Amino acid sequence: MMKDESVEKQSLPDLLRKQEKGTTVYHPVFYRLNNLADKNKLETLLQSSPSVTIHDELISQLQELIKTKNPKVRLSTTELDNGVVAHLGMVPPEEYGVWVYYPWSHKLIHLLDEEEFIEVRTNRNQYKITVAERDQLGKLKIGVVGLSVGRTIAITLAMERGFGEIRLADFDLLELTNLNRIQAGVYQLGLSKAISAAREIAEIDPFLKCVCFTEGLTEENMARFFQEGGKLNILVEECDGLDIKIRCRQMAKALQIPVVMQLNDRGMLDVERFDLEPERALLHGLIDHLDVSRIKDLTNEQKIPYLLPMIGTETISSKLKASMIEVGQSISSWPQLASSVVLGGALTADVCRRIALDQYHESGRYFVDFEDLVGDKNNASLQNHIPADTERELTELEMQEMIDCSGVQPDKNQLALTQEQIIDLVSAAIAAPSGGNAQPWKWFVSGNNLFLFHDRIRSVSLLDYADTASHIGLGAATENLILKAHSMNLEVFLKHFLPGKDKLVAMFRFYSKDKTPQDLPVEPHAVDDLASVIFLRSTNRKIGTRKPIDEQILKEIRDAVRTIPGAGLHFLQKPDDLERCGEIIASVERIRLLHTVGHTNFVNEIRWTREEAERTRDGVDLETVDLTPSEHIGFLMARHNDVIKHLNNWKGGRAFENLARKSVAAASCLGLVTMPSYGPEFFFQGGRAVQRAWLTANKRRISFQPVSPCTFFFSRLIQGKGAGLNPETQMELKKLRTSFETLFPLPPPVGEIFLFRLSLADQMEIKSLRRLLEDVLVIK
């Protein structure tokens, strides 16, 4: 016989590229051999498909049926065999029941027919589910939207036979990353999630009806999903699409269909009984304040305010909170665990059954948190331990005692200020900036002198090593007071850092111009024009876009700083330099937030609501921070100590760098105020220089924002020899310090006082508030 040359041998790659077709099939085929047509079709199938695997365990099923019908009797093997023969009668075993063919697996299974199959398969449900309840459940139509989590719910419902028909909607295909929580074999990769779930249900119970919506739930097919073939009895919503989450609830509400949702975290279960409460607000009213009609046209960022109330940012687990911060950094999506998904399947199936059987009638949000229910009762070791703060608020008696010990003598030439003048002066002083808007000052009028105190309880923080940040704020307040005094035609004598008590910062005496002693070193009038900007000054955290600032304006700012003896100002303007410094600033921000004390300081300084800001009148109002919705989520998640613990364990937290990096990327330039050396006096005078720079910039409509945590950390690293920092943090800071020195090559012992960014951005609508005068001023 001649070889057929036309038939070419296929290569292994070609053979491997062959894939099974017909992957949309999910309905089994039934053959009842007492029906001649079915018998002929099955014969044709077996002859044309020799690869079909036949599985015939009918006899064992019949034995189970016999046992089920005789629960009082313990039947022997012989009695069971005789019972099967009697039950079959004259019917050949191969013709009894039904042969079920699964086209996707090429398996042919011999089963009891529907009625007997159901009786045997659900026998172990009795009496947790009675026969009457089983039959009632068998009439249910349940819809499941979203099958990453919804698949387990659907399978659990199928195992309990909690429905007669199930509609499965998901547009997605199975991927390898799904297999950490979806019970499916690797051979199903690339298969529709809906079809995969429908096939598994059919393999559990071929008599259950499945309808797949492989395009997912859409505006176009939603009416069919809810009503075609009969209205749904229950909707299980587990989809990712925000617009569909809302839209399907709107339709469920209109059709009075209850909705059940499982979050897959802390065993959270959500129930909305629109069947019993047709006027009930969607999602328990959590999104009533939002315009749901706009959702479809929103970007992912814009959808976040709708998503937050749905998931409950305050009630999700600490690991999920921390994971949300890591999305887009070290992970690509939210984590989900099989154990949580399986728990959710159990909870949802249970609630759906009880809703259907009229055993549960309420709406609500519930938690079955295993870590809380089954966990160490004493987990104090897991908490962050912050050393107790030994500081307490300064009292009037303490301040008076420090004044009495100061050795200050009265001057017959000084003015006795009126109460109105004192109020005007101190009101201007407390309009000054301070780290975290802590406002670490108290003012005390004794005799004709005005004293400034450092109220340390308000400023102790990781960034305030040796009170450096506080001295800057106290210096800025001093500058404001002197500018205001000059605008009131008053001369000012300043004596600062009086001996004996470090909390007594400065003493001020005031003179009229014509009665000022010739030899008295009163404060010069170098920048008196800045007094008009005191109450206009603001921190502008709006990002803006990078635009160059006129060199003349930068010169004016630099000149204003230099009016303080020894003060200097160094600008970074080159894009490459700004980018490098931005990385340093961003890295330090991450270090600060991941540090136990630094994180506590951050949480305590933020005013998380406008109501809190108005009540405390200090701290940083969150509304003054230019955040995208996703960044806002990050701030909310970052409030919790256990979140920071997780991020540290994972070596994560890079997301904390993003806002600082973005802020510097939009800066026109960065400025560093310096003084000849370190020490309280230099930081105090440096604070005055900073305020002159700030007021000058704002006067010229230039936005000003501090970005100085890195200089404060470097002070702790160098001057404090790394006090309070672990070796790993010190090592990272040393590397950042080396990079910083290449950008600002300052000769020692020059002290770096304050780093800030200048930009051209829209004005802030909201300014941080100041404490009331009666809280900071004592007049004796």
- Per residue in 656-714, pLDDT tens? 999 999 999 999 999 999 999 999 999 999 999 999 999 999 999 999 999 999 999 99
Burial class (CB in 10 A: 0-12, 13-18, 19+), 78: exposed
Q: How many other CB atoms are there within 10 angstroms of residue 645's CB atom? A: 18
Q: At a CB cut-off of 8 Å and minimum separation 6, what does 338 contact?
A: 180, 181, 183
Average the pLDDT over 617-626 and give the result: 96
Q: What is the mean pLDDT of the chain?
A: 93
Alpha-helical segments (H) within 215-277: 222-227, 242-254
Structure tokens at 583: 């990385």
Better-scored residue on pLDDT, 632 or 231:
231
Helix or strand (DSSP H, E) at 466: none
Measure the CA–CA gap between 600 and 640, rounded to whole angstroms. Answer: 9
Provide the token pair at 318: 């600490």
Q: Read off the pTM.
A: 0.88
Instruction: Give the chain's end-to-end CA distance (angstroms, integer).
Output: 124
**pLDDT value, residue 1:** 42
pLDDT for position 21:
53
Q: pLDDT band for 741, please (50, 70, 90 cuts).
A: very high
Least Cα distance to 620 among 428, 429, 439 occurs for 439
Of 190, 176, 182, the closest CA to residue 146 belongs to 182
Taking the CB of residue 262, how many other CB atoms lie within 10 A of it? 26
- The tally of CA atoms less than 13 A away on the side-chain side of residue 293 is 0
As a whole number of angstroms, the distance between CA 534 and CA 767 comes to 13
Mean pLDDT of 277-287: 93
Selected residue with higher pLDDT from 264 and 142: 142
Residue 508 has pLDDT above 80, yes or no: yes
What pLDDT, on the 0 to 100 scale, is given for residue 4? 54
Q: Is 14 exposed, middle or buried (0-12, 13-18, 19+ CB in 10 A)?
A: exposed
Cis omega (within 30 of 0) for bond into 465: no
Q: How far apart are CA 529 and CA 537, in angstroms?
A: 14
CA atoms of 580 and 407, how far apart (whole Å): 50
Q: Is 414 helix (H, G, I), strand (E, B) or coil?
A: coil
459 has a pLDDT exceeding 90: yes
- Whether pLDDT at 214 is above 70: yes
Residue 343: name the closest of 373, 382, 364 by CA. Answer: 373
CA-based nearest residue to 680, from 511, 529, 472 = 472
Tokens read off for 512 = 């009229």
Token code pair at residue 523? 């404060």
The pLDDT confidence band at residue 289, using thresholds 50, 70 and 90, is: confident
- 3-class SS at 119? helix
Confidence label for 383 from pLDDT (cuts 50, 70 and 90): very low
Mean of the pLDDT values across residues 300-320?
A: 83
Choice between 446 and 287, residue whose per-residue pLDDT is larger = 446
pLDDT digits 0-9 by tens, 117-149: 999 999 999 999 999 999 999 999 999 999 999
Quick one: pLDDT band at residue 294, thresholds 50, 70, 90?
Answer: confident
656 in Cβ contact with 663 (< 8 Å): no
- What is the C-alpha to C-alpha distance for residues 360 and 357, in angstroms, rounded to an integer? 8
Q: Calculate ∠ Cα 625-629-630, nearest 5°.
A: 105
- 452 - beta bridge partners? 443, 506
Q: Regarding predicted confidence, which is higher, 586 or 309? A: 586
pLDDT of residue 546: 95
Give yes or no for a cis peptide into 749 (omega within 30° of 0): yes
Instruction: Read off the pLDDT of each residue in 644-650 and give the average, rounded to a whole number.
Output: 97
Query: Token pair for residue 38?
Result: 């079915």
Question: What per-residue confidence (pLDDT) applies to 498?
Answer: 58
With a CB cutoff of 8 Å and minimum separation 6, the contacts of 65 are: 87, 112, 116, 119, 120
Residue type at position 216: G
pLDDT higher at 5 or 645: 645
Residue 466 has a pLDDT of 93
Judged by average pLDDT, the poorest of 96-110, 377-391, 411-425, 622-636 is 377-391
Q: Can you tell me whether residue 163 is helix, strand or coil?
A: coil
Judge whether 265 and 340 are in contact, CB under 8 Å. Answer: yes
Closest of 526, 520, 510, 444 to residue 691, by C-alpha: 526
| Token digits of residue 480 | 């404001």
Asked if 459 contacts 434 with a C-beta cutoff of 8 angstroms, the reply is yes
pLDDT tens digits, 581-605: 999 999 999 999 999 999 999 999 9
Question: Does the structure show a pLDDT above 80 at 386?
Answer: no
Two tokens at 49? Answer: 């498909």
The whole-number average pLDDT for the span 615-622 is 97
pLDDT above 70 (res 341): yes
Amino acid 513: pLDDT: 87
Q: Quick one: pLDDT band at residue 380, thresholds 50, 70, 90?
A: very low
C-alpha atoms less than 13 angstroms from C-alpha of 48 in its C-beta half-sphere = 6
How confident is the model over 197-218, as a mean pLDDT? 98
Q: Which residue has the higher pLDDT, 145 or 289?
A: 145
Residue 405: pLDDT band with limits 50, 70, 90: confident
Cβ atoms of residues 688 and 740 within 8 Å? no
Measured CA to CA, the distance from residue 352 to residue 261 in angstroms comes to 10
